[in-house]
Amino acid sequence: MAPKLSVILPGIRKANWPAFYKSVQGSFNDTFEIVIVTPHKELPEELQQYDNIKHIVDKGSPARCQQIGLVHSEGEFVTWGADDGVFLKNKLTEIMDFWNKNATEETDIVTCKYFEGAKNQEGIAAGLRATYIPDDFWILNVGIMKTDYVKKIGGWDTMFEVTTISHMDFAVRTQRSGSRYFMFEKPIFVCTHTPGITGDHAPVHY
C-alpha cells in the first residue's frame, strides 16, 4: 500500500540521517517513506531496520538527486528536506491538515516558512525574490503537493544543478500551469547550518 507522504532527501551528510528520520516520525502522524538519493553506498546502521526508506546511489548534482527521488516516490503527497536540518514536531501533520482544508484542486500547492541562516534566524523562503524571475511568482523552497501532479509537469529541471535555482524554475512552471499557492504561516523545517558559516548552506564537495 502506498504511503501518504514521500519525503525526498538528497543526502550527503550521512551522520545526520538518523536525526532526519526521527524528525519525520515526530512531525507526521500518517504513513510515510523517505527517499534518500546519495553517493553513499550504505545506510547508517541504525536506519537499516526500517522498511520505509528507499536508498538510491547516485553521484549527480543536488537537483538531479531530488529529481531521481521524485521518480521513485510513491506517496500520494511529496515534500523534501535537506540533511543539515530537521522537521519540527507535528508540523508535517499540520501542513497536511492545512492542505486538506484549503486546497480544492490536484494542482494546488502549500508552501511554508522555514528557519534559514547559520544562527537559525527565521526566514520566509517563499517570500524571497530573484531578479531573473517575475515578481508575481512565489519561490518554492519547502512545500507539500500531490506527487502525480509534480511528475506530470516534469518535476525539477536537472539543467539547474543547484536546487535553489531548480526550485525557482519549478515555481514558475507550476504557477504558469495553473497551480495556486497557499502560504502555511508556520515554520516546519529548521536548517542547522555548519557553525561559523554565514549565509546559505555550507558548500559540500564530494
Name the pTM for this structure.
0.85
Residue 67 has pLDDT above 60, yes or no: yes
Q: What is the pLDDT of residue 114?
A: 59
Q: What is the pLDDT of residue 201?
A: 44
pLDDT digits (tens, 9 = 90+) for 162-201: 777 788 888 888 988 889 989 888 878 877 655 444 434 4
- Specify the residue for cell string 504561516: 185
pLDDT-derived band at 62 (thresholds 50, 70, 90) equals: confident
Q: What is the pLDDT of residue 198?
A: 41
Strands 121-123 and 109-116: antiparallel
- Specify the residue for cell string 541562516: 117
Q: What is the pLDDT of residue 149?
A: 96
Judge contact between 26 and 1, C-beta under 8 A.
no
Please tell me which residue, 8 or 165, carries the higher pLDDT value: 8
Residue closest to 123 by CA, chosen among 179, 193, 27, 63: 193
- Specify the residue for cell string 516546519: 188
CB under 8 Å to 159, separation ≥6 — which residues? none
Phi, psi for residue 205 in degrees, rounded to 5 = -120, 130
CA distances to 77, 80, 85, 182, 195 from 89, in Å = 19, 16, 13, 21, 23
Q: What is the pLDDT of residue 115?
A: 57
Judge contact between 55 and 43, C-beta under 8 A.
yes
Judge contact between 140 and 110, C-beta under 8 A.
no
pLDDT digits (tens, 9 = 90+) for 90-132: 999 999 999 999 999 999 999 876 555 434 444 444 344 445 5
